């Protein structure tokens, strides 16, 4: 075996593994659909499904990472409730109808988005 062959084989294996691993952002649309999010605020069962998908995109795709509060408000509308560093948006009832899903947007001290997630509450 040639002197550099083990290194080449290791590099090819690493490349193959990385190519096969799922990139969570690979299924992201090119931009966030703010109009669909706001329209889904009417929240019948079909709209809850749309809003749930859009909330997942915000969590997974980084559309608002580092955004200002003004930009978040323009994209998502008015939060309910809100405080200085944490805003919440209603997503819809859980599958069992016992709890509700909420989109949480956390802000840094400089009023920039530093975290996004979906949780039950």
CA-wise closest residue to 118 among 89, 95, 84: 89
Q: Which two tokens stand for residue 43?
A: 């929240």
The percentage of the chain sitting over the pLDDT mark of 90, rounded to a whole number, equals 45
Mean pLDDT across 14-31: 57
Q: What is the pLDDT of residue 78?
A: 93
State phi, psi for 89 to the nearest 5 degrees: -130, 130
* Greater pLDDT, 27 or 115: 115
pLDDT(27) > 90: no
pLDDT at 80: 87
Please, what is the Cα angle at 91 between 108 and 74, to 5 degrees? 50
- pLDDT higher than 60, residue 115: yes
pLDDT at 85 over 80: yes
pLDDT of 63 over the 70 cut: yes
Compute the distance between CA of residue 63 and CA of residue 96 in angstroms, rounded to an integer. Answer: 29
Q: What is the pTM of this model?
A: 0.72
Q: So what's the pLDDT on residue 16?
A: 41
Structural domains of the chain sorted by starting position, each given as residue range(s) with its CATH number in brackets: 34-120 (3.30.1450)
């Amino acid at each position: 075996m040639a002197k550099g062959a083990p290194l080449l084989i290791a590099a090819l294996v690493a490349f193959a593994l990385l190519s096969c691993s799922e990139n969570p952002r690979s299924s992201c649309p090119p931009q966030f659909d703010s109009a669909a999010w706001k329209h889904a605020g009417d929240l019948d069962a079909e709209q809850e499904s749309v809003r749930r998908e859009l909330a997942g995109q915000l969590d997974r795709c980084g559309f608002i990472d580092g955004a200002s509060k003004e930009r978040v408000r323009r994209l998502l509308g008015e939060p309910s409730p809100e405080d200085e560093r944490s805003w919440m948006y209603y997503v819809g009832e859980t599958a069992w109808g016992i709890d509700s899903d909420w989109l949480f947007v956390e802000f840094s001290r400089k009023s920039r988005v530093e975290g996004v997630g979906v949780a039950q509450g």
